[in-house]
Amino acid sequence: MNGFYHCPVMLKEVIDGLKIKRGGVYFDGTVGGAGHSYAILASDPTVTLIGTDRDEEAIEASEERLAPFHGRFRLFHSDYKNYESVLDRAGVDRLDGVLLDYGISSHQIDEEERGFSYRSASAPLDMRMDRSAALTAKEVVNGYPLEKLIRILREYGEEQFAASIVRGIERARSKGEIQTCGQLREIVEQNIPPRFRSAACARQTFQAIRIEVNGELEGLGECLRGLVGRLKPGGRICVLTFHSLEDRIVKQVFRELATDCTCPKNLPVCVCGKKKEIEIVNSKPITASEEEIKQNPRSKSAKLRISEKIGYDRET
């Protein structure tokens, strides 16, 4: 079997949150190692699933893992943001549930040649989820203007020492191309105050560059709105996030979609025409249990938000 693996985070909470319906059609936009997809299909023999992933290795592994459910699923090597064309190709109009898991897989982190981890000293600076994509971490680190790099580290990595780290990158790349994860990690470590240095002090820089390489936040809000629009009344959307930027966007979109008229209160009648589309199931995000965190430390930062489509469609 393909070596791709990914430990599904909050598996029970996700399945409970989706409230699987008999004969339901579900969309897993980030299939990974198919842990969640497997559980969705196993929950009811009448359920079908459409899945996407940007990583071709994930799709190959998931096809193999989901083989017992032959005829009940279709997987596509595609970004979940292309859901419109994917669902059209699958001949699906409305959905009973949507799952988006924004976690990077254990396989991607641990496979050194993928260049995701600051712990992999000799790994090439790559970080592409879709290995057919053109932009790599090496291009970002060596080719981006300093101002843009600083902005990326501050916004995507929430790195307080972004300017100092980028000045270190500038000095290093003036002497030669920065090629490996180890080189970048060393630059980060050398350009933050000693009292803030730790074994994981490069994590935020690597996270920021990965987000930029893969365009992870681009169009995220718009995509969430579109997928909610594809839900049948009573259908649910579950979103697993792993850092504050993603969670902030999901929280904001859910609040917006759960709000009725936004007209000023002094107007006697509504003129905006906005209708509430969802009910937020959990006002505060669900987090992993202590037991799960012990078994899978990567679940510690996970937040699960769930919403349910209310009884009318956007067009009505």
- Considering only residues 316 and 130, tell me which one the structure prediction assigns the higher pLDDT: 130
Overall average pLDDT of the 290-315 stretch? 86
Is the residue at 144 inside a domain? Answer: yes
Digit-coded pLDDT (tens) for 237-287? 999 999 889 999 999 999 999 998 777 777 777 777 778 999 999 989 999
Q: Which of 1-5, 62-66, 93-97 is the least confident region?
A: 1-5
Is the residue at 5 inside a domain? Answer: no
Is the residue at 108 inside a domain? Answer: no
- Considering only residues 213 and 104, tell me which one the structure prediction assigns the higher pLDDT: 213
- Same-domain status, 88 and 167: no
Domain boundary pick from 214, 243, 264 = 214
Q: What percent of the chain has pLDDT over 70?
A: 92
Domain boundary pick from 172, 197, 214 = 214
For the cut 90, the answer to whether the pLDDT of residue 313 exceeds it is: no
Which domain range does residue 273 map to? Answer: 11-102+217-309
- Same-domain status, 68 and 42: yes
For the cut 50, the answer to whether the pLDDT of residue 137 exceeds it is: yes
| 270 φ, ψ (degrees, to nearest 5) | -70, 135
> What is the pLDDT at residue 1?
44
**Which residue from 224, 288, 279, 276 is spatially nearest to 250, judged by alpha carbons?**
224
Q: What percent of the chain has pLDDT over 90?
A: 70
- Same-domain status, 180 and 246: no
Is the residue at 257 inside a domain? Answer: yes
**Which residue from 309, 298, 305 is spatially nearest to 109, judged by alpha carbons?**
298
> What is the pLDDT at residue 312?
55
User: How many structural domains comprise the chain?
Assistant: 2
For the cut 80, the answer to whether the pLDDT of residue 58 exceeds it is: yes
Is the residue at 235 inside a domain? Answer: yes
> What is the pLDDT at residue 198?
86
Looking up residue 49, the CATH number of its domain turns out to be: 3.40.50.150
**Contact present, 257 and 225 (Cβ < 8 Å):** yes
Looking up residue 117, the CATH number of its domain turns out to be: 1.10.150.170
Digit-coded pLDDT (tens) for 274-294? 789 999 999 899 999 999 999
Is the residue at 4 inside a domain? Answer: no
> What is the pLDDT at residue 113?
61
- Same-domain status, 71 and 19: yes
Residues whose CB falls within 8 Å of the CB of residue 82, separated by 6 or more in sequence, listed in order: 52
Our CA dihedral for 238, 243, 248, 251, rounded to 10 degrees, sits at: 20
- Same-domain status, 231 and 287: yes
- Considering only residues 307 and 201, tell me which one the structure prediction assigns the higher pLDDT: 307
Digit-coded pLDDT (tens) for 142-190? 999 999 999 999 999 999 999 999 999 999 999 999 999 999 999 999 9
pTM metric for this prediction: 0.87
Is the residue at 54 inside a domain? Answer: yes
Domain boundary pick from 169, 190, 214 = 214
Banded pLDDT at 81 (limits 50, 70, 90):
very high
C-alpha span between 67 and 33 (Å, rounded): 13
Q: 3-state SS of the chain?
A: CCCCCCCCCCHHHHHHHHCCCCCCEEEECCCCCCHHHHHHHHCCCCCEEEEEECCHHHHHHHHHHCHHHCCCEEEEECCHHHHHHHHHHHCCCCEEEEEEECCCCHHHHHCHHHCCCCCCCCCECCCCCCCCCCCCHHHHHHHCCHHHHHHHHHHHHCCCCHHHHHHHHHHHHHHCCCCEHHHHHHHHHHCCCHHHCCCCCCHHHHHHHHHHHHCCCCCHHHHHHHHHHHEEEEEEEEEEECCHHHHHHHHHHHHHHCCCCCCCCCCCCCCCCCCCCEEECCCCCECCCHHHHHHCHHHCCCEEEEEEECCCCCCC
Is the residue at 125 inside a domain? Answer: yes
- Same-domain status, 117 and 199: yes
